[in-house]
Structure 1
Amino acid sequence: MKGVVMGRVLAVIGIALTAMYAWFAWWLVGDRIQALQSMDLNEVGDFLAGAFGPVTILWLVLGFFQQGIELRQGTTALNLQATELRNSVVQQCEMVAAQKASLLNYEKTLHPLLRLEVTAAGWQEDEFGVEFKISNSGDYCESVVVKLNGEDMRPGRRDIDPLMTGSNCVVAFMGLPEWADLNVVIEYKMRNGTSSSQSFLVTHRYDEGYGDSYSITKLSFLS
């Protein structure tokens, strides 16, 4: 809007100065205009060039100022577009981050909430064994595999398929070192088909009056 006003002001100034110059030129040459008929063509050309030269320069200068105004307007518009593009990129990044967070939160709801308990531990038929109870209070999971110390201890691993919400199962491992710390990893597939696992550290404890026992610490999710 400001550029339009300035353009109109320059046009008014140009017209006013041109009219003043035309009036001055007529006052200066008016009574001698008939002398042009007796002049050579090159002299007439020199006269016209000299007469209209100042007007040409005037409009050239006004056009230069008008172009400068338009360039400034174009630069301002480009800066506004660049700002809008930056804001759009920021908004898109925020939307992508929100979508990722929403997806991660959704995936977390698909994980089973597993709990591990030691229900029995001791010697049986010259072998030391530990019995675990696995409870699921989270979402349904299938293709469940229980591993002990990352090795195939006898029976090595147990397949539990599926482990429903609110259900539990019992897994026993024999042939273990007596009262050693154990690492239990429970692998499974979630409802969306993604594989994941949860791990537990089973630590041996000895208390006078109570004897040997195990304490359990849940470690992190291993996707």
Structure 2
Amino acid sequence: MKHYRDYWAHQAKWWCSRNLEWWAAHFTALYIGGAILIMGARFDELITLELNAIGDLSAGVFGPVAFLWLVLGYIQQGRELKISSDALQMQAAELKESVEQQKALVEAQQENLRHYERSLEPLLELKYMGAQEIEGEWLENFEIRNFGTYCDGVVVRLSSDEVEKPPMPLEPLHKDVVRGFFLSDMSGVFQKFELTVQYRKLSGLASFQIFDIFVTEDYEGQNVRIKKQPF
């Protein structure tokens, strides 16, 4: 019993695996062969027909076959269009995936570049060294030290309440090099200054670091506190 079930299942699968063109070709062959046999059996009547009757007979005989292949042509065209549409959708999906991969690659490269540029930033430290009288004028003495990579084109800019004082250039800062400079007009009961240190990194890109300087005065004298802004 199982053998018969397997046999008929195999036959059903075999029949379903045949496409429309295969069935249409065999049907056409059988149809034309049958038509030839019928016309051959009645050949005596066929040769006595007039030309218009022969034309009508040909149209009647071959019309169904022509209509069948016309329908199959439309079906085949629709099938090819569907295959083309599926192929285009697959290409679009692959292109989208490729774009996403390229975007991720570009983002990774940009992130690596940011890390590289950040690794080239000098590590600056600002210290207040006290007041010093120079030619009768009291000036505030500061030192800046670089614990990171080399930078040049160093310029110091002091500003307070949106008033910026003239820039002060410094020598290049190598690692562990200390540069001293003086600032004036920093007295008062309470003053807040911003000291911007501009420089050029080894990559050639310009950058800067900012220090907040808080100056207060009390009965013990002047007090200067420095806080570096995150960058």
Q: TM-score range by the shorter chain?
A: 0.7 to 0.9
Matched, 1:93 2:93: no
Q: Which residue of 1 aligns with 2:165?
A: 151
Please list, as runs of the form range in 1=range in 2, the aligned pairs for 1:9-48 lying within 5 A after superposition. Answer: 9-26=19-36, 28-48=38-58
The structural deviation recorded for 1:169 is 1.4
The structural deviation recorded for 1:167 is 1.1
Q: Which residue of 1 aligns with 2:197?
A: 186
C-alpha change, 1:7 and 1:85, in structure 2 (3 Å) is farther
Q: Partners in 2 of 1:61 and 1:29 — Cα distance?
A: 26
Q: Which residue of 1 aligns with 2:214?
A: 203
2:91 to 73, 81, 88: 81
| TM-score using structure 2 length | 0.81
C-alpha change, 1:105 and 1:190, in structure 2 (3 Å) is same
The structural deviation recorded for 1:174 is 3.0
Give the number of equivalent residue pairs.
211
The structural deviation recorded for 1:40 is 1.7
1:56 to 66, 72, 80: 66
Q: Which residue of 2 aligns with 1:127?
A: 137
> Secondary structure in 2 aligned to 1:111?
coil
- Over the matched positions of the two proteins, sequence identity in percent amounts to 36
Q: Partners in 2 of 1:193 and 1:22 — Cα distance?
A: 86
The structural deviation recorded for 1:123 is 6.2
The structural deviation recorded for 1:38 is 1.9
The structural deviation recorded for 1:220 is 4.5
Q: Which residue of 2 aligns with 1:70?
A: 80
The aligned amino acid for 1:47 is: L
* Root-mean-square deviation over aligned CA pairs: 2.5
The aligned amino acid for 1:190 is: K
The structural deviation recorded for 1:46 is 1.2
Which has the larger displacement, 39-48 or 24-33? 24-33
Cα deviation, 1:198-220, whole Å, max 9, x if unaligned, reads 11110124677x65311111124
Q: Partners in 2 of 1:7 and 1:44 — Cα distance?
A: 39
Matched, 1:160 2:174: no
| TM-score using structure 1 length | 0.83
The structural deviation recorded for 1:193 is 2.0
C-alpha change, 1:26 and 1:193, in structure 2 (3 Å) is closer
C-alpha change, 1:7 and 1:40, in structure 2 (3 Å) is farther
Q: Partners in 1 of 2:17 and 2:227 — Cα distance?
A: 78
The aligned amino acid for 2:165 is: E
Q: Partners in 1 of 2:155 and 2:19 — Cα distance?
A: 84
The structural deviation recorded for 1:34 is 2.8
Q: Which residue of 2 aligns with 1:3?
A: none
